[in-house]
Amino acid sequence: MKNKKENNITAMGKRILIVASVLMVLAGLVGMLLEVHKMSQDTDLTLVKHDIVGDYDELYDEYFPRHYHATGLLTLPFDDIVEPFEAWFAGDRNMSRIDYYYGMDKTIQRGDLGKHGILFKIVPMHSEMKPSNKDFMSCWYKPVPKWLPRAGQSVIPTNLSEFKFVSEETHRGMPCFKYERKYKRYNKSNVYSFYVTKNTPHRPLRYEMVGYDDMLTSHYDHYVLDYISFEPWSFNRSLLSLPKNSSCDKKAKKLRSHYLANPMAEYMHFKHHKDYELDKTYDDYKATHGKHYTTAPEHERRKHIFKHNLSRSDDDGEGFLCRYIRSKNRENLNYKLAPNHMADMTEQEVNLHKGLLHEKKLKKSKSNTLAFNESVVHTDLIPHQLDWRDYGAVTRVHSQGLCGSCWTFSALGAVEGAHFLKTGELLELSNQQLIDCSWPAGNHGCRGGFQDRTLRWVKRNGVTSRRDYGPYLAQEGFCHCGKSDNCTFTHISGFSKVKKNNSDALKVALVTHGPIVSSMNSDQKTFRFYSHGIYDDPKCGKKTNHAVLTVGYGADDNVPYWIIKNSWGHLWGDDGYIKIAMNHDRCGLTNGPLLAIKKDSSIAEFPLKTLNKVPRQSITFYSEEELSIIPF
């Protein structure tokens, strides 16, 4: 019995020693963690890699709340867009709301609704034929696809591990820490900068991306998010509910919109997995073109599209970006390709960037067809080449952005040219007014429109300048500039059709009437990635689906072409333009609608005789000093 008792005591002592040893180890670990924590406190927001907690890292949770309210400005200098926003974010509840332009447009993401979550878009619509201030709210919703997990949209990066501390600076009069993520691929250098207040509680001040082409020594991309206010937010479900006075129009729901998703997701930068060559290539592509996806599943889906879109063929699934581009460029074609922002888009998404609608039943009428005098074609009245940019009749290239509004850029380009011929003034007219106000004419805002109906609307109401109406928003807004508003309008007396399938008729129309409202087929990948040269892909069909503006014609090595102004920004194509081969009517340019604005009686029959050539407009990079903060 005594031996048994001694054995029990000995066993108990061993257990006590084991427990004491474990406690000592734990104490040591706690001490190490406290030391690491102290070091992180001493370095103030030194961003290093941490284990990921959900879609966040530990550093985010240490310095920023999961629930917050923020206001700020999204600035796209190259597109002249300054977009005020206000955001409510409930990260752990998978909910968010972002208002743009002081509540005019709202996006609500609810991960708690539907099978995989639902995105809501609430925008104003206009029902009267004439411009007025009478708008009503319309809402559309879109179920979140299976591959996209339920999540709210943050307006600050939720994963900060890719950024490194750079310096302490003063930004907007406040001491702050600057963090950067630098990315370089070939001649493209991208810098993502994140400014955070030095004082606690820490607040974001600015998130900025600047892309620079070392070979061309010029900037190619730039966007800025300036945060005006940022504070913790006590969750309020009513702010994330649909407004009681909104209505979801059945017709609107059927019309697809590529702006239903939250546009802020395009600019937030998050961590993605990096594995093999494809991962590296795709990461380089995203950095070059400012692509940022909020979740790993969406990144993987886009990478898969990227791989298949840019392989040697549509179905082999092999090869990377450079293979397709280099393969096509090695064919010694009359044009060259280059990668752009469409490389990881589906065919459906690319189609949504067009926006041209056609009448289901065409009315046969010859009464408004432009008279064509064939006898002047081979005289000196019709020059061998013409580019209306050389005479100052074409405004700068703009990007329609995530909005199917190509019909507005096509129609107004011709109206701007007619106004120039009449007055000598190059005036930028308001695409946004047509998006906001021409619904009664049958147009559908960012979901498409008709060129002829648009010109009839302009004939009836006139169109105001971009300066008077306000900047282009790339989404639907409140219609204004009615009779009570002090807006200056440009009017047209009408328009005429140009004879179709006749290159000579289009040449004469260009010489006598200025830039012509046109359309073309834009389905081919070669068109999507066009860079320069004369585009003559024989696979480009004749059924037109994208509205453009024809501004001239010419020939290189006896290969004639049309000069086309696109609305996909100056980063696409040849500074926003493309040369389309005349032979075989490539892409159906003369097969689709061709509309010329009726000339004022004061304009000469052949106005080129009275005009002198002028220097081309140059693309300007805007410095930070020029991007002043607008009070929220």
Catalytic residue IDs: 406, 546, 566
Return d(Cα 88, Cα 93) in angstroms, integer: 12
Given a contact cutoff of 8 angstroms between Cβ atoms, the answer to whether 126 and 445 are in contact is no
Return d(Cα 476, Cα 474) in angstroms, integer: 7
Pairing mode, strands 516-520 and 95-100: unpaired
H or E segment at 550? Answer: strand 546-556
Backbone angles phi, psi at 244, to 5 degrees: -65, -25
Reading phi first (left if > 0) and then psi (alpha if -120 to 50, else beta), residue 87 is in beta
H-type alpha helices, 184-338:
250-254, 277-289, 296-309, 321-329
The amino acid sitting at 400 is: Q
Beta-bridge mates of residue 552 = 387, 563
Given a contact cutoff of 8 angstroms between Cβ atoms, the answer to whether 136 and 279 are in contact is no
Residue with tokens 């280099």: 326
Given a contact cutoff of 8 angstroms between Cβ atoms, the answer to whether 517 and 541 are in contact is no
Backbone angles phi, psi at 357, to 5 degrees: -110, 150
Residue with tokens 């990260």: 91
Enumerate residues 6+ apart whose C-beta is below 8 A from 24: none
CA 201 centroid distance within chain: 33
Reference 592, options 512, 502, 495; nearest CA is 502
